[in-house]
């Protein structure tokens, strides 16, 4: 059990240290020798964990309507944007994003929105 726990800690450390600018293939290359030492049933959990570590921490540029539709898929894009805009205006840490004249959010702004509202 101690060996398995140590491997998981090494695995988590590699995931934590992989940055958004580092290609996903580099992370896989670093982890494959370690992953090969785990039991087969654990491999699926590890693969899912790797996906969450690498994909969930990276943001991309979103159009404002696209992001609004992700949060409110059941309503029209314009209504979704109005609703998202009012939510953003109510949260001090991201209220400035509701008044932008741009039609897109940069990755850092998307991350701030995800931190404030959670992922859609």
pLDDT at residue number 2? 47
The pLDDT tens digits for 17-32 are 555 445 545 555 566 6
For residue 63, the surrounding DSSP H or E stretch is: strand 62-63
Cα 16 from Cα 86, distance rounded (Å): 34
| Global confidence as pTM | 0.54
Phi then psi dihedrals of residue 103, to 5 deg: -100, 15
Question: What's the residue count for the chain?
Answer: 120
pLDDT at residue number 20? 47
Alpha helices in 1-120 (DSSP H): 2-17, 24-35, 40-55, 64-71, 77-90, 107-117
In 3-state terms, what secondary structure has residue 28? Answer: helix
């Amino acid at each position: 059990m101690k060996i398995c726990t140590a491997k998981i800690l090494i695995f988590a450390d590699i995931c934590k240290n992989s940055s958004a600018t580092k290609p996903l293939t580099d992370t896989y290359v670093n982890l494959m020798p370690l992953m090969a030492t785990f039991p087969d049933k654990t491999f699926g959990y590890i693969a899912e964990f790797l996906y969450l570590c690498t994909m969930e921490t990276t943001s991309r540029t979103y159009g404002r309507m696209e992001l609004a539709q992700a949060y409110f898929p059941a309503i029209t894009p314009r209504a979704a944007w109005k609703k998202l805009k009012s939510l953003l205006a109510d949260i001090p840490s991201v209220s400035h994003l509701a008044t932008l004249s741009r039609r897109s959010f940069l990755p850092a702004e998307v991350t701030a929105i995800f931190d404030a509202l959670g992922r859609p």
